[in-house]
Structures are given as C-alpha cells and as structure tokens.
A and B are shown apart, each in its own frame.
Chain A
Amino acid sequence: MIDLENIQRIFPVGDQEVHALRDINLHIDAGEYLSIMGPSGSGKSTLLNLLGLLDRPTAGRYRLDGQDVTTLSDNQQAHLRRERIGFVFQFFHLVPRLTAAQNIELPMVLAGLPVDARQLRVQQALRDMGISDRAGHRPDQLSGGQRQRVAIARATVMQPGLLLADEPTGNLDRASGKDVVDILETLQRRGITLIVVTHDPELGERAQRRLHMVDGTIVNDTAKP
C-alpha cells in the first residue's frame, strides 16, 4: 500500500538546515497496524505528515497504492486526502461552532455528497462510536474522550484505506485513552491500515509492527529483525 524510497525532509531554518528525515525506506502493506515511537524531535510527526500528503519530501519517492504521489498537484493531493486518508490529532481539532454530528459530516460536505447519504453515514458513525446521544452537542460540551471519538468518526466517515493518528491519546486520561485505542483497533481489524505515533510504550507495544525512530532515521523495525 505504501512505498517510501530514500525519503528526505530538510527544513531550512535561517541559513541552517534541519534534517528531520534522513533516507527513509519503508514498505507498509494494506491492513497493517503500525506504531511509531521515538524521542521528541526524532521526526515521527514529519513522517506521518508526509504519509498523509500534508507535506512534501525534499527528496525521494512516495507511492500510495502503486501511484507516485510526490509529483501530484496540490489539488490532486487534496483529493487523495479526502478520499483515502483519515487523520486523528492529539488536539482533536474539532470546529468549535459545529455540533458533533456536523463535525463528522464535514468531510462529506466538502466532498459534496448528497444530504440524505450524509445523514445516514453520520448516524452510523455516531452509533459506532457510542456517542449517538451527543450528536447535537458542541465540542466544548463534550469530554476529551468523546471529542476524540468524534474526531475518529470524522476521519473515517469517508471510509479511507489509511488512518493516521498522531498521539491520539496524548491529551486523554488512561480510561478514555484506552477507549480510543479500542476503537482504532476495531477499525483496523475491519481492514483499515492504522499508523499510530505515540510516546506511550504500552500503546506502542499493542501494534503488530513497531518502528523506532531516532534523529530522522528508522533505527528499529519489528518487521525487519
């Protein structure tokens, strides 16, 4: 599903350069459950953003489902993000003025889906996340765990093949963090490719495949002993 070849990401900072990613080679199959761990500043988020087409590599090639996506235009990348990739963030990033249901609906609104189809899928997503009774609540009326469940529903409502989560439990207490992980793993078992960046070793250990990054390189990959 994912093929990274000699990926580099260099940030120019003043007249210096920061090598956030150095020569990353990575292959990920569809349906895998992958965790990325490593010290702060090791490039985990940078890698995830590249995978999610939110950022472009300085050098190297990225193929998604066999298609070279590094050469695509911004609009084509946006289209791929909409149809094939879901994001879950540490800080949820829900739109404050929209209700839970409206936040979940947002990607389908952007995609221009017809209203009745949208309603159907929103109801289904709310049920899947166990927050049907919170449909009309705005984010500030929800707990952290509920907010993250809304965010996951939003990330998956377009039924993408790839779900990227950057420290999804980083802002949650243990109990609600556990709930969120359960939901993500359920989604993965149903077939989605799940990549989780985390600082929590316990959460990282749950993944079938674990990457360890240090200073912009993958120093350990459980798939390649």
Chain B
Amino acid sequence: MRSIDIARYALGSLNGARSRTALMLLAMSIGVASVLVLTSLGEAARRYVSGEFASLGTNLVIVLPGRTETAGGEPSMLIGDTPRALTLGDAQALLRSSLIRRVAPLNIGSAPVSYGGLERDIPIWGSTAELLEIRHWKMGLGRFLPKAEWDRASPVCVLGQKVRKELFGNQPVLGEWVRIGDRRFRVIGILESAGESLGVAVEDMVIVPVASIQRLFNTSSLFRILVEARSREAIPRVIEHITRTIRERHQGEEDITVITQDAVLATFDNILQALTLTVAGIAAISLGVAGILIMNVMLVAVAQRTTEIGLLKALGAPGRQIINLFLAEAALLSLLGAGLGLVIGQIGNGLIGYIYPDLPMGTPLWAFVAAIGVALGTGLLFSLLPARRAARLDPVQALARR
C-alpha cells in the first residue's frame, strides 16, 4: 500500500468520526500547549534572573573585607576582633594586572541630603568613574563622576531620579549645590531610572567621589572593591591575583573574601533549570494522559470498525497493513494535535508576555522539539495496543457482525 494512500485512508477515517477526532485533538493540543507554556515560563524565570545578574555587571568580582569561613556561615576573623580594612591603596594595587579591566572602590553610608528647605536621609555611595561601567548604569542627564585621581575629594555628586524629584521637583538641577552632611556638592548628573537592580534602588541614591565620602564619614576604609575581569575565563586567575596582592599588602594575612557573581548565577541557573525541567515533566504528564485518552478512543474505534477491519482482511490486507493504517491515524492525530497545541501555546505565551511585560517570554527550541516528539511518541505508543488488537481480529467473526 502506498504511503499517500495510507495517509488518505487514515484522514478519511478521522474525518468520518468527527467528534472522536475533535476530542483527541483537544486532549493532544492541551498537552502540547501546556508543555510549551510551562517550559516558557520556566525559561522566562531563568532569563529574568540571569538578566538581573548581568545588570549587576558582567565578569564582576567583589572583594569584601574579612574572611568568611565557608563552614561556619557567619563571617569570622582570623586574627583580632576586626578585619583589617580595605583601603584605596589596596584597590589601586589591583589595577596592576592585565587580567583586570576595571576597578571601582566603594563606600556606602547614609546622610541627610538637603536643598532649599528640603532635607532627607538618603543612601550615599562613594566611588569612582569606573562604577558606572562596572554596574552597567546609564546617565539620564549630565555626566557621571569625573575620571580623576581617586584621592581627590571633588565636591560633585550624581543623583538618582527619585532624589532629584523629591528635592528639585521639576526645576533645573544640573549645576545646583546640595548639602550632604556638613559639606556642599554640585550636582553634575542624574542617573537614568533603571528600576530595582537586584535589591539596589538606583533611583534612591546619591553618588559622590570615594575620597569625598571618606571625608564625609571620616574613614579611610572601603566597604567593597568591585573588580571587572577582562573575560569570564580570566575570573579564576583574577581571584588568585586579588588574593595574592592583598595578602602581600596585609602582611601575609588572608583577611578578605572574594565572591563572583558567576558562582551565584550558576547556582541560580541550576535551580531554575531544574525547575523548568520539573515543570516540563508535569506538563509531559498531561501529554501522557492525552496518550491514554487516545488509546481508549482508539480501542473504541477498533470496536466500532470491526466489520471494516474484517473486510480489509478479507480483501487481502495483511496484519501489518492494518497496524500501519491505525498508526497512521494516530500519527496524523498527534501531528495535528501538536500543531494546534503549538498555536494555543504560543497564544498563551503571548498573553502572559502581554500581562507581565517584564518576563522575557520565549520558548526554547528544545521545548518545541520535545513537545512535538512526545506528542507523536505517546500518540503512536498508545495506539500500538489498539492497532495490534485490530490486526489480530478474526475476519470471520468480524464479518459475522452486521
């Protein structure tokens, strides 16, 4: 029997039992659609988190004062009660490696910021020009901290959007002087609103040169050193370099902690990947249910078409051919169902993306392949039993029925 004839015959019998066909298509397409929607959701969550980390800065290595014991969890110091402070000198020393592209020292504090009659306590970040690039922030207005000697305490500052709104309303802001603590700073730029970047409210902060904040809070230590490696591959060597450099500067004491966002990201990535697979697995169960439904309906179809099967045998169709006819029916159903499911799934994904624009919806290619493959697989697998039952029918008995 020719393939085209098998397909036509299968299509004919599907068309001959419309409600049965519709029911199976529905089951199949719901299964496929749920696989697509659920995997897309999982993927979206993964990408969302990765995106958040990327906005933190790529190839970022963060240096903290004090040593974190991996076993204890609580940071504990090797010697003395307080960790040896990180200094601007430490940060500068790190620059001497070709593996490192940028270094930004960071201090954070909170101080009253006032303009005109208005005053508010606002987080103050002290850093250098490199911070902007390391954190992938953008300027909304004006410019960022000037590229100058790190120990120059220029009286300039950059404001977040919210700070600007609260202190200045709609008035022009560039070139104005604000008071931070007991010092005056000239506003030279406004950050572009970037929303919440992994817990950092970019809108609600004031950035000043690191030397200025050290004078403001009367300290010489740093809160963090942010280091950008030249490449992802260089990160292990960068960590090694940092540890060695600081150890040398700290009289042989290893009293810093170096963390990479890569490690954190990898953990998150693994968790979310597992989540996606779990969710996809759950969705695959619905495909399995669809498969069982197909089996049942196929068994009914075999029972209903007993005489037809008997006739085919009497006309000289061997068992194999009858199996092929039923499997072709199942394959057609599965493919049509999968096609329908793809459409429904994409509409569903589109809707979710429309309702939650922040979620980067998008179905991974493997999910398409898996959904169609599993649909076809279950369709065929669960039709095997009915098809074989049909092929084994005794033609005499089958034809004895009217």
Chain A residues within CB distance 8 Å of chain B:
49, 52, 54-55, 74-75, 78-83, 85, 87, 89, 91, 93, 95-98, 106-107, 109-112, 154, 158
Across the interface, do A95 and B311 meet the contact criterion of CB distance under 8 Å?
Answer: yes
Q: How far is the CA of A82 from the CA of B314 in the complex (A)?
A: 8
Q: How far is the CA of A154 from the CA of B321 in the complex (A)?
A: 19
Across the interface, do B314 and A87 meet the contact criterion of CB distance under 8 Å?
Answer: yes
Contact partners of A80 in chain B: CB under 8 A: 316
Contact partners of A55 in chain B: CB under 8 A: 396
Contact partners of B319 in chain A: CB under 8 A: 74-75, 78
Contact partners of A107 in chain B: CB under 8 A: 315-316
**Is B224 an interface residue when CB atoms closer than 8 A count as contact?**
no
| Given A95-B308, A97-B12; A79-B316 close (CB under 8 Å) | yes
Across the interface, do A93 and B311 meet the contact criterion of CB distance under 8 Å?
Answer: yes
Contact partners of B311 in chain A: CB under 8 A: 93, 95
**Is B402 an interface residue when CB atoms closer than 8 A count as contact?**
yes
Q: How far is the CA of A74 from the CA of B391 in the complex (A)?
A: 11
Contact partners of A95 in chain B: CB under 8 A: 308, 311
Across the interface, do A78 and B318 meet the contact criterion of CB distance under 8 Å?
Answer: yes
Across the interface, do A82 and B316 meet the contact criterion of CB distance under 8 Å?
Answer: yes
Across the interface, do B315 and A89 meet the contact criterion of CB distance under 8 Å?
Answer: no
The interface bits of chain B over 1-23 (1 if a CB of A lies within 8 angstroms of the residue's CB, else 0) are 11001000100110110000000
| Given A49-B396, A112-B2; A54-B316 close (CB under 8 Å) | no
* Residue in A81, A93, A111 whose CB lies within 8 Å of B399: A93
* Residue in A78, A87, A98 whose CB lies within 8 Å of B317: A78
Near A by CB (< 8 A), chain B positions 303-324 give 307-308, 310-321
Across the interface, do A111 and B5 meet the contact criterion of CB distance under 8 Å?
Answer: no
Q: How far is the CA of A97 from the CA of B12 in the complex (A)?
A: 8
**Is B353 an interface residue when CB atoms closer than 8 A count as contact?**
no
Near A by CB (< 8 A), chain B positions 293-343 give 307-308, 310-321
| 29 CB < 8 A contacts A-B | A52-B314, A54-B314, A54-B395, A54-B399, A55-B396, A74-B318, A75-B320, A78-B318, A78-B319, A79-B318, A81-B314, A81-B316, A82-B315, A82-B317, A87-B314, A89-B399, A95-B308, A95-B311, A96-B16, A97-B12, A97-B16, A98-B12, A109-B2, A110-B1, A110-B316, A112-B1, A112-B2, A154-B315, A158-B316
Least CB distance, B14 to chain A, in whole angstroms: 10
Q: How far is the CA of A87 from the CA of B315 in the complex (A)?
A: 8
Q: How far is the CA of A95 from the CA of B325 in the complex (A)?
A: 15
Q: How far is the CA of A58 from the CA of B89 in the complex (A)?
A: 103
* Residue in A78, A91, A93 whose CB lies within 8 Å of B316: A78
Q: How far is the CA of A54 from the CA of B307 in the complex (A)?
A: 14
Contact partners of A154 in chain B: CB under 8 A: 315
Q: How far is the CA of A93 from the CA of B314 in the complex (A)?
A: 11
Near A by CB (< 8 A), chain B positions 229-280 give none
Across the interface, do B12 and A83 meet the contact criterion of CB distance under 8 Å?
Answer: no
Least CB distance, A54 to chain B, in whole angstroms: 5
Contact partners of B399 in chain A: CB under 8 A: 54, 89, 93
Contact partners of A82 in chain B: CB under 8 A: 315-317
Q: How far is the CA of A52 from the CA of B267 in the complex (A)?
A: 71
Across the interface, do B313 and A54 meet the contact criterion of CB distance under 8 Å?
Answer: yes
Q: How far is the CA of A178 from the CA of B313 in the complex (A)?
A: 29
Residue in chain B with minimal CB distance to A84: B316
Residue in chain A with minimal CB distance to B395: A54
- Additional A-B contact list (7), CB under 8 Å, known A81-B313, A82-B317: A52-B314, A96-B16, A97-B12, A97-B16, A109-B1, A111-B316, A112-B5
| Given A49-B396, A55-B396, A97-B13; A110-B320 close (CB under 8 Å) | no
Contact partners of A96 in chain B: CB under 8 A: 16
Contact partners of A98 in chain B: CB under 8 A: 12
Least CB distance, A62 to chain B, in whole angstroms: 15
Q: How far is the CA of A93 from the CA of B311 in the complex (A)?
A: 7
Residue in chain A with minimal CB distance to B321: A110
Contact partners of B318 in chain A: CB under 8 A: 74-75, 78-79
Q: How far is the CA of A77 from the CA of B16 in the complex (A)?
A: 30
Q: How far is the CA of A95 from the CA of B315 in the complex (A)?
A: 12
Least CB distance, A66 to chain B, in whole angstroms: 20
Contact partners of B310 in chain A: CB under 8 A: 93
* Residue in B307, B315, B395 whose CB lies within 8 Å of A106: B315
Q: How far is the CA of A68 from the CA of B399 in the complex (A)?
A: 25
Across the interface, do B395 and A97 meet the contact criterion of CB distance under 8 Å?
Answer: no
Q: How far is the CA of A78 from the CA of B1 in the complex (A)?
A: 13
Residue in chain B with minimal CB distance to A154: B315
The interface bits of chain B over 383-400 (1 if a CB of A lies within 8 angstroms of the residue's CB, else 0) are 000000000000110010
The interface bits of chain B over 359-402 (1 if a CB of A lies within 8 angstroms of the residue's CB, else 0) are 00000000000000000000000000000000000011001001
Across the interface, do A78 and B313 meet the contact criterion of CB distance under 8 Å?
Answer: yes
Least CB distance, A83 to chain B, in whole angstroms: 7
Least CB distance, A8 to chain B, in whole angstroms: 16
Contact partners of A89 in chain B: CB under 8 A: 399
Q: How far is the CA of A107 from the CA of B311 in the complex (A)?
A: 10
Residue in chain B with minimal CB distance to A106: B315
Least CB distance, A95 to chain B, in whole angstroms: 6
Across the interface, do B317 and A110 meet the contact criterion of CB distance under 8 Å?
Answer: yes
Least CB distance, B69 to chain A, in whole angstroms: 75
Residue in chain B with minimal CB distance to A85: B316
Across the interface, do B314 and A97 meet the contact criterion of CB distance under 8 Å?
Answer: no
Q: How far is the CA of A186 from the CA of B327 in the complex (A)?
A: 41
Contact partners of B16 in chain A: CB under 8 A: 96-97
Least CB distance, B392 to chain A, in whole angstroms: 10
